[in-house]
Amino acid sequence: MRPRFAYHRPASVEEACRILAAEPSAAILAGGTDLMVHLRQAWRGKRPPAVVNVKRLPGLAAIEVTEARVRLGALATLTALIEHPVIRSEYPVLPFTARYMGSPAIRNLATVGGNLCNASPAADLPPVLLALDAEVEIAGPSGTRRVPLARFFQGPGQTRLGPGELLTGVEFPRRQPPWPIRYERLDVRRAMDIAIVGAALSIHRDGARVREARVALGAVGPTPLRVPDAEALLASHGLTDAAITRAAELGMAAARPISDVRASAEYRREMIGTLIRRGLEALRDG
């Protein structure tokens, strides 16, 4: 059983921010797939934090595509991400990644915003959204601000959200045509599992020449991270065998993995190199 918790159900983003400002320890409930478990496991027999249910706030579940941007509302579910026609056709990496997460029933609940705000170092969407140059939109007492996703994560379970602030969406530029991107993940089970390590790789070609690259990693440090020196190397050298090998080495060097029940730090470091190499080779060949 979960302990009974104080419950708030704000009707607007503004009201949610007011409540969160007044109760900085309150937990935000969106899909609940992490929080409801956490309330049961970590707060058993204790006085739990108040819960602010934002799940039914109007407008935050929308996925909006304009000529220049793609915006995922914070409350968009993983199922919605899988089913959205433009996401499916232009960003199949997002449905591909979402299908790794949970089960159909979990994906009907779990939200994009929750996956970001839960700030698990092993979360699957952050590396992909980092490689898409995403930024998050945050509502708060003094209005709305935008933060590059790369600066949003502060540590395990820690984000840049301040008192009274609520993540309302995540946006990334809609490139035409979309830059090729892949998400490579290592895990033990096909379903209901958490990544041992994950890597998102993207390149932008101009003709045959690689102009830009993105290398974003998950589960190899306290936060998801980009590897700027690997990106710069790929942008200047292209997808040669030597550059791919060097980019994988740079990714391994940037990794700060821990040992835990899923894998040792040494194994994670080795495997992140393998995933980077695998993803870049697939981009080269695909």
Partner 1 sequence: MADAYPLELAVNGRRVRRQVPGSRTLLEFLREDLRLTGTNLACDTGDCGACTVLVDGQPYTSCIMLALDVDGREVTTIEGLAARWQAQSGAAPPALHPVQQGFLDEGGAQCGFCTAGMVMAAAGLLEANAAPTATEIQAGLEGNLCRCTGYTKIVTAVAVAAERMRELRR
Binding site for partner 1 (CB under 8 A): 1-9, 29, 32-33, 36-37, 40-41, 51, 53, 55-56, 79, 99, 102-106, 108-109, 190-192
Shortest approach of partner 1 to residue 48 CB, angstroms? Answer: 9
Give the span between the Cα atoms of 252 and 271, in whole angstroms.
9
Q: In this complex, which beta carbon is closest to partner 1, that of residue 164 or of residue 221?
A: 164
Q: In this complex, which beta carbon is closest to partner 1, that of residue 54 or of residue 225?
A: 54
What does the chain come to in residues? 286
Q: In this complex, which beta carbon is closest to partner 1, that of residue 114 or of residue 279?
A: 114
Tokens of 32: 């609940």
Q: In this complex, which beta carbon is closest to partner 1, that of residue 38 or of residue 175?
A: 38
DSSP state of 245: H
Q: In this complex, which beta carbon is closest to partner 1, that of residue 106 or of residue 239?
A: 106
212, 283 contact by CB (below 8 A): no
CA-nearest of 81, 163, 83, 152 to 118 is 152
214, 133 contact by CB (below 8 A): yes
Shortest approach of partner 1 to residue 76 CB, angstroms? Answer: 15
Count of alpha carbons within 13 angstroms of residue 175, beta-carbon side: 17
Amino acid at 142: S
Tokens of 66: 């304009």
List of residues 6+ apart from 253 with CB closer than 8 A? none
